[in-house]
Each structure stands twice: as C-alpha cells, then as structure tokens.
Amino acid sequence: MAVRPYKRKGVIQSNKWMVDYYDSKKARQRLIYVGTRAEADAAEADLRKQHGSGPLKNPTINAILPEYLTWMRNHRAVKTVKDIELTLKKLQPHFGHYPVNRITRSLIEDYISLRKKAGRVTAQGKRIGEIKPSGINKELAYLSSIISWMVEQEYSYPLPFKIKKLKSRRPLPQIPTPAKIEAFLSALGKHDPMQEALAGILYDNGLRWSEAANLRWEMINWESGSINVKGKGDKERMAFLSDRCRRLLSPAWAKAGKGEASGWIFPSPVTGEPYSNQKKAWATAGRLAGVKINPHLLRHAYATFTLEATGDLRAVQVELDHASSRTTEIYTHISQARRREINQQRQEYLDKAKREYDQDKIAAQPGNDNSAQVIDISRHLKTNK
C-alpha cells in the first residue's frame, strides 16, 4: 500500500492523494482521497484493517515505551539505554501521543524546525548554541528504531515513507602522533598502572571503551595472549595482549589467582563495578603529555595507523567490529589527509632547497666575492634532509 500525491495531466492536485491498496481478494485497488496528507495516511491504515491486512494493535508510542525500554535494557548496553532515555525527553512531547500510522512527513519536518529553534540546551534549560544536524539525525534514528521495534512486535505497520536525514558532514578526527600517544600512556601509568593497561588495550586493539572496561579475567588466555572480546549485540571477536599490557597486568593477574583468575579486570575501588569513564585521570595525563585524548580517539588512532601500515581496509573493519565497510571508510580519508600532509612537507623541503640554490647561483655570478664555478642542487637536498 502507498499514498502519493494525485496528478492530473501531470499536474499535482492540491489536497488530493492517490491511495493504493489490496482488497480481501488480493486485488489491487486505487482511490482518490481528498484531504490532508495525514488524513490520507490514516485512511490508508483504515483500509489495511478493513481488508484483513491491518495490525492487531495500533498503540501510541507513549503506550509501548515501558515495554520497549525493558527490551532495550535486556538487549543493549547500559550506555545506549541511557542515551535513548535522554533522547526520549525530546521525542516524546512531539511524537509520543501518536500511533505510527499518524506520523507524517510534515510532523517530522515540524520536529526538525523545533529542534533547530531550541538548539543545544543545558540540564537547566539554558540555550548554549546551535544544534548540529548530526544531533537531530541521531534523534530521528532513535525514532526509526522505536518504529522498527513496534513493527517487529506487530504493533503497527512501517511508515509508508523513509525518514530523511539532514545533510551532515562528519568531521575527521585529529589523530595525535604515536609519540604523543605514548607520552599520554606513560603519564597515565604514573598515576595508575592499571589505567595505563586499560588505555593500552584500547590503543593496541581498537576496542570500544565498554568492551575494554568490561573485560574479565576469564576472557584472557594468558598463555596465548588472546582476549575474547564481547562487542555489540554480544558478538565475540579476538583481541591480543601487547607486551606492554602483559607487563602492566602481570601483578594483578598473579594476585587474582593466575590460571584461576576471575572477576572484573578493571573494577572501580568505590563500586567494585567497571568504570563508566575515567575523564579526570585522562584529563590530568593529557595535560602532562600536552595532548587531549579520549577513549574513542585511541580507537581512531589504532585504525588509522593500522591502515597506513597495511593498506588492508577489510582487516581494519574486522578489528573494529564494523558491520559495514562504509563505516570503516572514514579511515581512508584520514590516510589521504596524512598523505597530503606528507606531500606538503616534501614540497616545502624542495622549495627551501631551491631557494638556497638560487641564492648560491646569484652569489656565483661574476663580481661577487663568494663566486663559485659549480653549483649542485643535490648538496642542498642532502643538507636539508
């Protein structure tokens, strides 16, 4: 079934809609509906029900949210659930009292306009700037997720249209040099060797924070140095202990019982549970090392350096646990940016050599005290290496 603008002699007729549907005998029918788009969508949904193809239920989004959130808590990471709960505070006032078949394109456009007008706000409701298109896109993605879940649970039919995202340019992360990252890890280790080990596992394997912070001793095969990582959707993949991490973890591993070690590797001394973040310790280490680094930046650094070293995009995709290679392709752009930087440095090097060559050539002209009979530009290249 579908609803589309009604055309007559190629001209769209105002407030008229062509509704396609199949009757109880599975024969295709068409009718012209006069009214708003929302009313036409509602009429189409009613036709589904009349001809035995309607959903068993058609609740509002607010009505299913308790069940939806329970499902999310059972199947998604704690961080994801918290993010959804925060996003729902924005989505509910606008969409919550609608069933899916009453959600229209104009309703979504109104939401986008309202979010742009509201901008970014603090917890106290104070406006602190414009909201980025990527922020609105994330909210719309969560709305699509809720609707998809309702469809899977047979609460409703899918939207008859695709929710279009705003054009958004994803900024390329600025990756510190390996030397800067090593300085950061060293500074972190001076504060707490276990924090350096945690950051080292992130950097050496490109793990997500949740994957590294939730590691247990049972997941490590100390002999082979392998780590059984549990990622998104409980998918498992292999990571490895570097020599650095082996050295840093050895005392804790021995204390935990070596071969019989169990429990969290990085528990908080306050709660006994994995850290949700270590912003204060990382900020302190960053100031000492003269660089700003967060866990996701270490993941970016791992991917960037691995791709530059191997050129194997597929391998990076597997290591990062990306479902689609399109997600991993951002690192090809980072690599290209690095190559542009190298070419620029090369050009500056050659320009400097040429300037020195030109100066020597002028000095070698007759009448100059420092004249030289033979000038070799290769000498300038060598001295500037």
Write down the catalytic residue from 97, 296, 333, 382. 296
127 is known as an active-site residue: no
115 is known as an active-site residue: no
Model confidence at 254: pLDDT above 60: yes
How buried is 247 (Cβ within 10 angstroms: 0-12 exposed, 13-18 middle, 19+ buried)? middle
340 is known as an active-site residue: no
Domain ranges of the chain: 2-50, 61-152, 178-328, 334-383
Model confidence at 65: pLDDT above 90: yes
Torsion sign (Cα): 279, 281, 284, 289: negative
Model confidence at 366: pLDDT above 80: no
pTM comes to 0.53
Model confidence at 1: pLDDT above 60: no
> Side chain identity at 81, as an amino acid letter?
V
Write down the catalytic residue from 203, 300, 331, 380. 331
**Cα–Cα distance measured from residue 202 to residue 301, given in angstroms and rounded to the nearest whole number:** 10
296 is known as an active-site residue: yes
β-sheet bridge partners, residue 3: 19
380 is known as an active-site residue: no
Write down the catalytic residue from 232, 247, 292, 338. 232
Residues 6 or more apart from 250 whose CB is under 8 A from it?
none
Q: What is the pLDDT of residues 100-148, one digit of tens each?
A: 988 999 999 999 999 999 888 777 777 878 888 889 999 999 999 999 9
CB 258 within 8 A of CB 222: yes
357 or 69, which is more confident?
A: 69
299 is known as an active-site residue: yes
CB 12 within 8 A of CB 1: no
Write down the catalytic residue from 94, 115, 208, 300. 208
**What pLDDT, on a 0 to 100 scale, did the predictor assign at position 372?**
45
Write down the catalytic residue from 115, 299, 300, 380. 299
Mean of pLDDT values over 267-278: 83
- 178-328: CATH superfamily: Intergrase catalytic core (1.10.443.10)
Write down the catalytic residue from 322, 338, 349, 357. 322
